[in-house]
Structure 1
Amino acid sequence: MSEVRYFVHQPSSALRRHVREILWVHSQRSRVQVLLPETTLTLVLRQSGSASMRNEALPNAIISGLQQRTRFVEHEANSALLIVRFTEVGAPAILHDRVDLLYNRTAPLDSVLPWRDIDHLQNVLTDARDLQQHFMAVERFLIRRIRTQHGTILQGISPQIEAAAQMIRRSQGRSSIAAIARHAAMSQSALERHFRVAVGVTPKKLSRLARLQHVCRLWNTGKSLTAISFEAGYCDQSHMVRDFRLFTGTSPEEFFRDTRANNLPIFSN
């Protein structure tokens, strides 16, 4: 099995509404990475090695929107990455654009952010001596993106949309859209319209993504499919399997059997 090391960095208070975590991942050998659809956008900065997806080389700096299907990424040996996982509502303040435009897309980072800023950050990371300096450099880069011209933090996150996204995350996708709208003190139509722009998908689709993540966590506990479907809030096992097939193209048993048989590490997008 490929030797993979990773370190999770929790962002400072200035970033916590925008960034869930920053990861450093290093693999000494070549590997295939399984990317399950996640509930947030992801920014990736490659420090060494190269990677490809569907036989196409990936840029060293990319932004990945919310995805509809599981993907497979091939990393060459001695590959090191810094991965920024945003909160559900955090990406617009850094990207300064509608995140629904990135739905089902993986794009070069310089297609949405200035190339000079990205190049400067990559140079700083090259000169950094340890992981802490890497994380601090990424934090400074992100904080500059959410500061106004007067130097104050841009508070562009809608409290109502943030409350709705947090409810979906806490309930692991089991809350009804009507209940989410009531919690956010919005009509369902207004919630869906503003939610898509700020989060990247509708509340219903984010709920389905959150449930997929929960199903995978429950599978790792060794529970049966019947128990997993009940605990994840599905009306029956067949409904859960249909949802899982929609995102992965296969059943839960086949998906986890194949990934384990081929020693494929699973990461969220």
Structure 2
Amino acid sequence: MEIAIYTPTELLRPFIKTYKIIESREELVNRVVPSTSFAMAFRFRGQISYVNDTDKTALPIATFSGLRKSVRLINYAPKTGALIVLLKETGVSAFFKQPLHEMFEASVSLDNFFPQSEISIVEECLAETENNQTRIAIIEQFLYSKLAYHKPDPLVSEAITKIYSKNGIIRIRQLADGLYISQDAFEKRFRKVTGTTPKQFSSIVKMKAIIRQYPAPSSFLDIALENGYYDQPHFNKNFKLFTGQTPTDFFKSTSYW
């Protein structure tokens, strides 16, 4: 698998984290752990499918995916290529006006949100070029056309910054108190912007931080206790839901992002 990463142009940088172009020469299964980013995926060659046990579910050419609490296994057929748009946590509502929490654990065809005729033009243009920079330009032109007036919620932005600064180890009530807002009102505003609750968001940030920091001198028990888990079995259970593997097996693997 080859993965190339590109930075958005200045106009789209407040809304887009990064672009990833993923290409496979041979058939493979990629392990995608949960992220705090919504994603748009445009397949320009080959076939991509979700793997569920022993079954495969083919994905549309253009797909929109919400946040998840569990791992996804994605099968890339030989000679497959896709361009992934990873949106910033506070940027997704600049393109999508639908209730974002309805997309939790979901992946649907992008034509549920934008006209199929426009998406077909993007698909055709992507398929006709072999140049990654041109592919990025095609996607950015499409994104420009969908960019609506967007007024970010400063309270939610500050909350996200605090969650990241604590690597997700933070009590939601204390977070709300520090922002001078009731917990109920805070959770509603947070879910409207990010598509998930502050608790679920924090758990994703925490597990991603654990993965990013490994290998560490600590044992898995120490890692569990340092990150707020009551014991190692509790940590192992959450880790397996997040990655689909035990900590030992996961860190032996190289095929995930």
Judge same fold: TM > 0.5, yes or no. Answer: yes
Deviation at residue 218 of structure 1 after TM alignment: 2.2
2:193 and 2:7 map into 1 onto residues whose CA distance is 23
Q: Which letter maps to 1:197?
A: K
- Equivalent residue of 2:60, what SS? coil
1:67 and 1:213 map into 2 onto residues whose CA distance is 13
Residues 1:77 and 2:78 are matched in the alignment = yes
Distance 1:185 1:7, change over 3 A: farther
Q: Which letter maps to 1:19?
A: I
> For residue 158 of structure 1, what is the aligned residue in structure 2?
153
Residues 1:116 and 2:111 are matched in the alignment = no
1:49 and 1:99 map into 2 onto residues whose CA distance is 29
Residues 1:56 and 2:57 are matched in the alignment = yes
Q: Which letter maps to 2:255?
A: P
Deviation at residue 109 of structure 1 after TM alignment: 1.1
Distance 1:178 1:96, change over 3 A: same
Q: Which letter maps to 1:218?
A: Q
Distance 1:183 1:52, change over 3 A: same
Deviation at residue 107 of structure 1 after TM alignment: 0.8
> For residue 183 of structure 2, what is the aligned residue in structure 1?
188
Q: Which letter maps to 2:220?
A: L
> For residue 47 of structure 1, what is the aligned residue in structure 2?
44
> For residue 12 of structure 2, what is the aligned residue in structure 1?
15
2:93 and 2:13 map into 1 onto residues whose CA distance is 14
1:161 and 1:169 map into 2 onto residues whose CA distance is 12
2:155 and 2:195 map into 1 onto residues whose CA distance is 16
Q: Could you give the per-residue CA deviations for residues 151-180 of structure 1, whole angstroms, max 9, x where no partner exists?
A: xxx123211112212322332211221343
Q: Could you give the per-residue CA deviations for residues 4-47 of structure 1, whole angstroms, max 9, x where no partner exists?
A: 11111111222222111111111111100111111111111001
Task: Write the mapping of 1:93-108 to structure 2, written as runs, cut at 5 A.
Answer: 93-108=94-109
> For residue 255 of structure 2, what is the aligned residue in structure 1?
265
Give the root-mean-square deviation of aligned CA atoms: 2.1
Distance 1:10 1:220, change over 3 A: farther
Deviation at residue 222 of structure 1 after TM alignment: 6.7
Deviation at residue 51 of structure 1 after TM alignment: 1.6
Distance 1:38 1:77, change over 3 A: same
2:179 and 2:228 map into 1 onto residues whose CA distance is 22
- Matched residues, percent identical? 26
Residues 1:33 and 2:63 are matched in the alignment = no
Q: Is the 8 A contact 1:62 1:107 kept in 2?
A: yes
- Equivalent residue of 2:10, what SS? coil
The range that moved more, 222-231 or 108-117, is 222-231
Q: Is the 8 A contact 1:44 1:83 kept in 2?
A: yes
2:185 and 2:43 map into 1 onto residues whose CA distance is 38
- Equivalent residue of 2:90, what SS? coil
> For residue 150 of structure 1, what is the aligned residue in structure 2?
none
Q: Which letter maps to 1:134?
A: R
Q: Is the 8 A contact 1:160 1:185 kept in 2?
A: no
Distance 1:241 1:20, change over 3 A: same
Deviation at residue 48 of structure 1 after TM alignment: 0.6
2:217 and 2:95 map into 1 onto residues whose CA distance is 39
Q: Which letter maps to 2:46?
A: G
Aligned length: 253
Structure 1: which 5+ residue stretches go unaligned? 148-153
Q: Is the 8 A contact 1:164 1:183 kept in 2?
A: no
- Equivalent residue of 2:142, what SS? helix
Q: Could you give the per-residue CA deviations for residues 103-135 of structure 1, whole angstroms, max 9, x where no partner exists?
A: 111111111222122112222323445211211
Deviation at residue 227 of structure 1 after TM alignment: 4.1
2:180 and 2:115 map into 1 onto residues whose CA distance is 37
TM-score (normalised: structure 1): 0.85
Distance 1:193 1:214, change over 3 A: same
Q: Is the 8 A contact 1:95 1:113 kept in 2?
A: no
Q: Which letter maps to 1:104?
A: E
Task: Write the mapping of 1:131-210 to structure 2, written as runs, cut at 5 A.
Answer: 131-147=132-148, 154-210=149-205
